């Protein structure tokens, strides 16, 4: 009786991750846990400050080849996590340690790693509304923020950023900084009122004034950009993450 060849097995995470690969995978996991959908290529690119979409695709290809994710047909928001970022590390620890503790202990330890960021009120995805004021705290996975000591959260009000996937009542995570590059999604204050928009510094079209202005551009095709002189706009930070509660 001839012996049948074994069926090919699904890729398993036998190779450890590089720090950058681990960061990308943890970000995907965090987005799936918080919003129920995987991040878009644009969101991954913006979160890690990658130079191009090719860089995003390279990271996803490496994670796929190592057996951590599945990305069928490279479809948008179709990334599936097959194994967590710590799968190999946990497997190795289980083999060499006899004091790892129970699954409940591990779960409690993982929960302790959640960050609490200050929720500083509401920010307008529309016309600017209110100044940033201390309100409460919101728990977020550590992988969703780059610099916890300089990060805070805001609740969105309005629909001007819906084409970037930012909806009314979403909570956005902000990395505090005073500068931005063209295309960044920022939180800015104008006349002490806060708004979230895409930032551009350029000459205003169809204007005789050729000096550079700050364009706060909505991501909603039914709305128009707001234009200000640079000294009128105070950049409070850039958007690095989003939490949606159902």
List active site positions. Answer: 160, 197
Q: Residue 209 corresponds to which tokens in the numbers above?
A: 């004034």
CA dist., res. 218 & res. 125, Å (int) = 8
Q: Residue 182 corresponds to which tokens in the numbers above?
A: 């063209």
State the virtual CA torsion across 83, 25, 42, 46 in degrees, nearest 10. Answer: 170
Helical H segments across the chain, by residue range: 19-35, 41-48, 53-65, 87-96, 103-112
Q: Residue 15 corresponds to which tokens in the numbers above?
A: 């190779």
Q: Which of 130, 134, 131, 125 is nearest to 152 (CA)?
A: 134
Helices 19-35 and 53-65 cross at an angle (nearest 10°) of 90
| Helix, strand, coil abundance in the chain, percent, nearest 5 | 30, 30, 40
Question: Do residues 241 and 166 make contact, with C-beta atoms less than 8 angstroms apart?
Answer: no
Question: Do residues 179 and 122 make contact, with C-beta atoms less than 8 angstroms apart?
Answer: no
Pairing of strands 233-243, 171-176: antiparallel
């Amino acid at each position: 009786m001839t012996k049948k060849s074994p069926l090919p097995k699904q890729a398993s995470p036998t190779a450890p991750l590089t720090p950058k690969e681990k960061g990308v995978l943890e970000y995907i996991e965090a987005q799936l846990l918080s919003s129920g959908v995987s991040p878009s290529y644009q969101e991954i690119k913006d979160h890690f400050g990658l130079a191009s979409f090719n860089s995003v695709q390279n990271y996803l290809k490496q994670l796929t080849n190592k057996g951590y994710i599945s990305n069928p047909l490279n479809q948008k928001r179709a990334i599936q996590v097959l194994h967590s970022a710590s799968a190999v590390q946990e497997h190795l620890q289980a083999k060499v340690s006899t004091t790892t503790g129970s699954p409940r202990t591990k779960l409690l330890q993982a929960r302790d790693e959640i960050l609490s960021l200050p929720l500083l009120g509401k920010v307008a995805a529309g016309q600017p509304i209110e100044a940033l004021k201390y309100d409460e705290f919101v728990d977020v996975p550590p992988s969703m923020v780059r610099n916890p000591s300089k990060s805070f959260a805001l609740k969105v009000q309005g629909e001007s950023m819906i084409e970037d996937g930012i909806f009314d009542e979403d909570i956005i995570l902000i990395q505090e900084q005073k500068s931005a590059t063209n295309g960044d999604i920022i939180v800015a204050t104008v006349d002490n009122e806060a708004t979230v928009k895409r930032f551009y510094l350029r000459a205003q079209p169809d204007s005789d004034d050729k000096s550079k202005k700050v364009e706060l551009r909505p991501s909603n095709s039914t709305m128009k950009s707001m234009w200000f002189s640079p000294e009128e706009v105070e950049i409070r930070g850039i958007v690095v993450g989003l939490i949606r509660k159902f």
